[in-house]
C-alpha cells in the first residue's frame, strides 16, 4: 500500500470532522510544477520523525523533496526535546535543500533562520496571524496578550544537503497543549486553520525566500534575509538568558543578529558576545 493510500485508510482512527486529512494529490498538483523548487510531495499517516526519514533517504533524492506526516510520534525539537501533538492537529513536515556550490557551506546555517522568516511570511498572508520569531528557531504567536510558542524548526545536515523540519500547531485547543506556554494558530485567532492552504502558503514562501538567498550566493544581507529576520525577531531588544553549551550562562540584552546568524548579546558590563548555539530564554524587562 502506498504511503498516501495508507494515510487515507487510517484516517478513520480519528473522528474529528474538524481535522480532515491532507489531500496529497491536490498538494502535488499545486506545488510540483516542473519548473519550481518542489520535486515531490509525500504524505504519510504517521511516522517517528519526518526529519529522520527524509535525512535517511536524502542521498537518493533530488532537491525539493517534501515529506509531510499527519502525526509524528517521535518528533524532535532542539536539544532533543520531544514534539508531540494529536493527529492532524498541525503541520509536521520536512524539506530537502541541496544548495551545492551556489552557496558556501558556512552560510548554510542561515537555512534555519530562512525557514522561520518564510513560515512567518506565509502564515501572515494565508492565516492573517502575526508570527514572531524567537532566536534561533521558535515560532511565536500571541494568545490573549501572551507570547506563546506555536512552532519550531530543526535543521540537520546530510551528506550533500540539509533537511529542514517545521512543526506548527494549527488547531490544538487549550486542553490539548503539551505545556501551558504552548500555543496554536486556532488560539491565536487565525482567520484560516485549514491545513492545506496553510501548507501551500508556507512552501511557496519557502521557495521564494530560498530562491532569493541562493541567487545571492547565500549572502543574508543582499538577499534581504538578515534585515527581514531582525524585523520579525521578538528576541531583539529583550533581556535574555542564553544557556550555552558546556553549562555556561550569559545574561544581557539581545542587540542584533550578525552576518553569521549569531545572536549578539550585550552584557551588563557593556561587552558584546555572539552566540551561535544555545537555549535562549526571554526574561521580563528590567525597569
Count of Cβ atoms closer than 10 Å to residue 201 Cβ? 20
DSSP, res 15: -
274 has which bridge partners?
Answer: 264
DSSP, res 247: S
Question: According to the model, what pLDDT value does residue 31 have?
Answer: 98
Question: According to the model, what pLDDT value does residue 74 have?
Answer: 65
Q: Strands of 263-266's sheet, edge to edge?
A: 272-275, 263-266, 249-257, 239-243, 279-282
d(CA 177, CA 112): 24
φ, ψ for residue 227, nearest 5 deg:
-65, -40
Question: According to the model, what pLDDT value does residue 95 have?
Answer: 98
d(CA 263, CA 165): 21
d(CA 125, CA 129): 8
pLDDT tens column, 178-204: 888 999 999 999 999 999 999 999 999
Question: According to the model, what pLDDT value does residue 14 have?
Answer: 41
d(CA 30, CA 126): 15
User: What is the value of pTM for the model shown?
Assistant: 0.91
Pairs from 25-29 (Cβ < 8 Å, separation ≥ 24): 26/196, 27/68, 27/196, 27/199, 27/200
Q: Strands of 40-44's sheet, edge to edge?
A: 40-44, 65-69, 90-97, 162-169, 146-157, 138-143, 132-134
Question: According to the model, what pLDDT value does residue 82 have?
Answer: 57
Question: According to the model, what pLDDT value does residue 197 have?
Answer: 98
d(CA 66, CA 85): 20
Q: Collect the ranges in the chain with pLDDT lower than 50.
A: 1-15, 78-79, 286-287
Would you state the cell numbers that stand for residue 106, as one nine-digit string?
558556512
| Complete domains list, the chain, with CATH | 3-231 (3.30.930.10), 236-282 (2.30.30.100)
d(CA 70, CA 42): 11
Amino acid at each position: 500500500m502506498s504511503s498516501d493510500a495508507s494515510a487515507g485508510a487510517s484516517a478513520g482512527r480519528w473522528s474529528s470532522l474538524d481535522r480532515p486529512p491532507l489531500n496529497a494529490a491536490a498538494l502535488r498538483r499545486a506545488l510540483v510544477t516542473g519548473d519550481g523548487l518542489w520535486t515531490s510531495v509525500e504524505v504519510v499517516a504517521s511516522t517517528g520523525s519526518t526529519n529522520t526519514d527524509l535525512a535517511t533517504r536524502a542521498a537518493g533524492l533530488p532537491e525539493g523533496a517534501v515529506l509531510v506526516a499527519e502525526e509524528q510520534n517521535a518528533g524532535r525539537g532542539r536539544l532533543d526535546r520531544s514534539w508531540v501533538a494529536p493527529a492532524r492537529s498541525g503541520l509536521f513536515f520536512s524539506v530537502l535543500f541541496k544548495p551545492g556550490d551556489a552557496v558556501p557551506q558556512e552560510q548554510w546555517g542561515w537555512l534555519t533562520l530562512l525557514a522561520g522568516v518564510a513560515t512567518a511570511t506565509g502564515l501572515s498572508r494565508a492565516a492573517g496571524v502575526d508570527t514572531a520569531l524567537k532566536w534561533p528557531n521558535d515560532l511565536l504567536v500571541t494568545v490573549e496578550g501572551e507570547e506563546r510558542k506555536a512552532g519550531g524548526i530543526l535543521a540537520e545536515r546530510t551528506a550533500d544537503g540539509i533537511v529542514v523540519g517545521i512543526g506548527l500547531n494549527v488547531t490544538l485547543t487549550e486542553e490539548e497543549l503539551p505545556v501551558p506556554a504552548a500555543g496554536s494558530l486556532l488560539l491565536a485567532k487565525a482567520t484560516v486553520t485549514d491545513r492545506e492552504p496553510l501548507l501551500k502558503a508556507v512552501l511557496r514562501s519557502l521557495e521564494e525566500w530560498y530562491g532569493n538567498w541562493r541567487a545571492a550566493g547565500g549572502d543574508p544581507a543582499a538577499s534581504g534575509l538578515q534585515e527581514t529576520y531582525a524585523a520579525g525577531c521578538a528576541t531583539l531588544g529583550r533581556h535574555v538568558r542564553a544557556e550555552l553549551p558546556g553549562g555556561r550562562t550569559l545574561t544581557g540584552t539581545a542587540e542584533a543578529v550578525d552576518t553569521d546568524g549569531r545572536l549578539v548579546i550585550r552584557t551588563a558590563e557593556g561587552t558584546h558576545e555572539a552566540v551561535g548555539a544555545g537555549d535562549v530564554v526571554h526574561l521580563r524587562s528590567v525597569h
